[in-house]
Structure 1
Amino acid sequence: MPIFYGKASLMDYLKSIKTIHSTLGFVPTMGALHQGHLALMQKSLAENTNTVVSIFVNPTQFNNPEDLAKYPRTLEEDVKKLTDLDPNIILYAPSVADIYDGQPVSQSFDFDGLENPMEGKFRPGHFNGVGTVVKRLFEIVEPTHAYFGEKDFQQLQIVKKMVAKNNLKVVIISCPIYREANNLAMSSRNERLSAQERDKAAVIYQILTSVKAKFPTNSAAKISEWVQKFLKKNPQFTLEYFTIADEATLTSCNRKNKNKKYRAFIAVLVNNIRLIDTISLN
């Protein structure tokens, strides 16, 4: 499997294999690969001539230094998973210096307000960090298509906005959430949960499916109140936020509009490990 640790050698290699008719799929990750990541890669492999996967734990999108320090780094195991999936995958595993050419500093972006609620509210500066690294990776890799999971739906919308505002020639492909056997949304952070915590975290998806069932006949405010009361009965979970929002603008739903698409978003802490999930409501 071709592995590159520096952007110069990667860019030279990609130029050497590019043709007029070839397409290049790209799956950016922070490593600790799980089946959800591999599903994105399988889609890219099926739809493109070549596929690049990046593994880079981006420091500028962590507002909590402890979270950055504890983020799992499993490059050796990740390389094996990629090789088993397809040895023709091109891996880019850069250093911070290679990506940022010096000090890792975020660029400031205007995402038309998409960055303000939910993750943006609780993780100041997070989406400037995301926008900075994704834009930089797109400039290095120059993909035809890039693949993102819907679990990070707010991030997905922000990446689409960044691409549109910067006139980048890449098509963003959104992919369904990949879930564990108990329907917990797959995440690299799940590796930090104990077996018991992982089992109990199934309640997150149970809450979301209940919300979906309640949505046609209940107001968003009434549903939010139910979620808060439900989680108070489960003290091992700390609710950071729950909201029902317009999919396009991510603004909270105050009064339902039959012409809009809505989605429920939730973030909970389990033993200080942060888990997020989302579900489409109509």
Structure 2
Amino acid sequence: MIPILRTVAEVRALARGWKQAGDSIGVVPTMGALHDGHLSLARRARAECGRVITTIFVNPKQFNNPEDLKKYPRSEEADAALLGTVPVDAIFAPEPEEVYPEGFITTVSVGGVAEPLEGRMRPGHFDGVATVVTKLFGMTLADRGYFGQKDWQQLQVVLRLTRDLNLPIEIVGCETIREGDGLAMSSRNVRLTAAGRRKAPVLYAAITAAADDIRAGQSDRMAIREAAEAMRHAGFDRVEYIELRDAATLMPSDDPARPRRMLAAAWLDGVRLIDNIPV
């Protein structure tokens, strides 16, 4: 049975023992409600590291909407069973008071790459992400951290903070795992109605078509407009943004010689879905 650790002292003692034995440590930070996307990260860590810790912590500091925090799915027992199939060596599932004890007043804030898109739509979100990720790296003493590319902007934020703060950890970005119909796997997908679930793959299809059109010479603006219209026609409640950005800086880019990323966020059935693809 995989040990489930609740305190920093427990996870730090275990990690120190592994380090003394010469093992490398990979950490997979999650908020639980695990799916095959999370498991793919754990498997990658398993293949590349001597020991693997998966963290399960619904981080209150990265939710700018209290209702979203309340509705976020929690399924620790099922998550532990899934992680047993990898298997990982330990699960770190602390209570909020363990991560943010009384009197906690420190925030890690990343500029630049954290400011547009999700940063604009969800004020304070990336401060919460950066703060908890920095803490988890320190708590687990990890040598490598594994993150999915579905949250592309989050991945760039984590890469930036580790470089800027000289953190002794390698960040590994892993491919987005999709359902058979193209929908990016997400813990929020379970909140879609049956009808919404049938519509949801249009997000990926629309941005894929837009990227293809741009590569074929269509203007960025026209391709994006058509993608948004396709999503609205399919029944999406609202398209928050579809943007073509520099893949590393997340700044607007019309230079096809540099790696670019198309990123999108839209609402369906009261659920906010995000996705991105290279262009």
Instruction: Tell me the TM-score normalized by structure 1.
Output: 0.94
Query: Distance between the aligned counterparts of 2:79 and 2:21, measured in 1?
Result: 31
Query: Distance between the aligned counterparts of 2:164 and 2:92, measured in 1?
Result: 26
After the TM superposition, which of the residue ranges 19-28 and 69-78 deviates more from structure 2?
Answer: 19-28
Cα 1:106–1:69 change in 2 (3 A) is farther
Q: Give how far 1:139 is off.
A: 0.8
* 2:250 alignment partner AA: L
CA contact (8 A) 2:242 2:265 kept: yes
Q: Give how far 1:94 is off.
A: 0.3
* Aligned counterparts, 1:155-166, within 5 A: 155-166=154-165
After the TM superposition, which of the residue ranges 100-109 and 166-175 deviates more from structure 2?
Answer: 100-109
Q: Secondary structure at the match of 1:28?
A: strand
Q: Give how far 1:205 is off.
A: 1.1
- Stretches (4+) displaced over 4 A: 103-106
* Aligned counterparts, 1:64-103, within 5 A: 64-86=65-87, 88-102=88-102
| Structure 2: segments with no counterpart, 5+ residues | none
Figure out how many residues of one structure are paired with residues of the other and give that number.
277
Could you give the per-residue CA deviations for residues 86-111 of structure 1, whole angstroms, max 9, x where no partner exists? 1x521000000111122666614133
* Aligned counterparts, 1:42-57, within 5 A: 42-57=43-58
* 1:271 alignment partner AA: D
| Residue equivalent to 2:250 | 250
Q: Secondary structure at the match of 2:229?
A: helix
Q: Aligned-residue CA RMSD in angstroms?
A: 1.4
> Percent same amino acid at aligned positions?
38
| Structure 1: segments with no counterpart, 5+ residues | none
* 1:107 maps to 2:93: no
Query: Distance between the aligned counterparts of 1:193 and 1:6, measured in 2?
Result: 34
Query: Distance between the aligned counterparts of 1:51 and 1:85, measured in 2?
Result: 10
Cα 1:146–1:220 change in 2 (3 A) is same
CA contact (8 A) 2:56 2:92 kept: yes
Cα 1:110–1:80 change in 2 (3 A) is closer
| Residue equivalent to 2:260 | 262
CA contact (8 A) 1:32 1:75 kept: yes
* 1:169 maps to 2:197: no
Could you give the per-residue CA deviations for residues 148-168 of structure 1, whole angstroms, max 9, x where no partner exists? 000000000000000011110
Could you give the per-residue CA deviations for residues 104-137 of structure 1, whole angstroms, max 9, x where no partner exists? 66614133x1111110010000000000000010
Q: Secondary structure at the match of 1:233?
A: helix
CA contact (8 A) 1:97 1:103 kept: no
After the TM superposition, which of the residue ranges 203-212 and 122-131 deviates more from structure 2?
Answer: 203-212
* 1:280 maps to 2:278: yes
Q: Give how far 1:229 is off.
A: 2.5
Query: Distance between the aligned counterparts of 2:194 and 2:232, measured in 1?
Result: 22
CA contact (8 A) 1:24 1:49 kept: yes
Could you give the per-residue CA deviations for residues 158-217 of structure 1, whole angstroms, max 9, x where no partner exists? 000000111100000000000011110000001111222112101111112101211120
| Residue equivalent to 1:11 | 12
Q: Secondary structure at the match of 2:275?
A: strand
CA contact (8 A) 2:56 2:91 kept: yes
| Residue equivalent to 1:183 | 182
Q: Give how far 1:228 is off.
A: 2.7
Q: Secondary structure at the match of 2:266?
A: strand
After the TM superposition, which of the residue ranges 202-211 and 53-62 deviates more from structure 2?
Answer: 202-211
CA contact (8 A) 1:240 1:269 kept: yes
CA contact (8 A) 1:60 1:105 kept: no
